Amino acid sequence: MLKILRSVDELVAEAEEKVVSLTPAEVMNRLGEPGLILVDLRDIRELKRDGRIPGSVHVPRGMLEFWIDPSSPYYQDQFDHADSLILYCNKGARSALAAQSLQRMGLQAVAHMVGGMSRWENDIGEIEPLPERRPSA
């Protein structure tokens, strides 16, 4: 049996000590800043079920570091003109860990939203459905 020495709660708490954590209201106040990308890390099933914050960009959590790194074959050019990133997930744990990972890659202008989409829904309430994908020709 695998023996875990540090719980996921401990890892998330450590990450939250090292990254910038913003409330949904603080995120709302920053929306529209030039060069800011609001990144939704949730699984596609969560987006289809719950919608998303208007203007956010979906990046699957498992691909974040690969899509951000220009030396990766998976790099996404949508990050070419980004000056800062705010990450969010459903409750805030994945985004805290992801923000810490990006900091370890050298990114400084990265933050995460405390409480994630659940808290956004309670505090702000502004949500849009995931746009329908057009079938490729």
CA distance 70 to 79: 9
CA distance 35 to 109: 11
Domain count, the chain: 1
Residue among 61, 70, 24, 68 at smallest CA distance from 40: 61
Residue 103 forms part of a structural domain: yes
107 Cβ contact partners less than 8 Å away, ≥ 6 residues apart: 68, 85
- 76-96: pLDDT as tens digits: 999 999 999 999 999 999 999
Task: Count CA atoms closer than 13 A to 38's CA, side-chain side.
Answer: 21
Residue 133 forms part of a structural domain: no
Q: What is the reported pLDDT for 136?
A: 61
Q: What is the reported pLDDT for 134?
A: 65
Task: pLDDT band for 131, please (50, 70, 90 cuts).
Answer: confident
Residue 2 forms part of a structural domain: no
Residue 132 forms part of a structural domain: no
Residue 104 forms part of a structural domain: yes
Strand, helix or coil for residue 23? coil
Q: What is the reported pLDDT for 93?
A: 97
Residue 85 forms part of a structural domain: yes
- 11-58: pLDDT as tens digits: 999 999 999 999 999 999 999 999 999 999 999 999 999 999 999 999
Residue 68 forms part of a structural domain: yes
CA angle at residue 57 from 24 to 90, to 5 degrees? Answer: 45
Q: What is the reported pLDDT for 137?
A: 58
- Residue 14 belongs to what domain range? 8-122
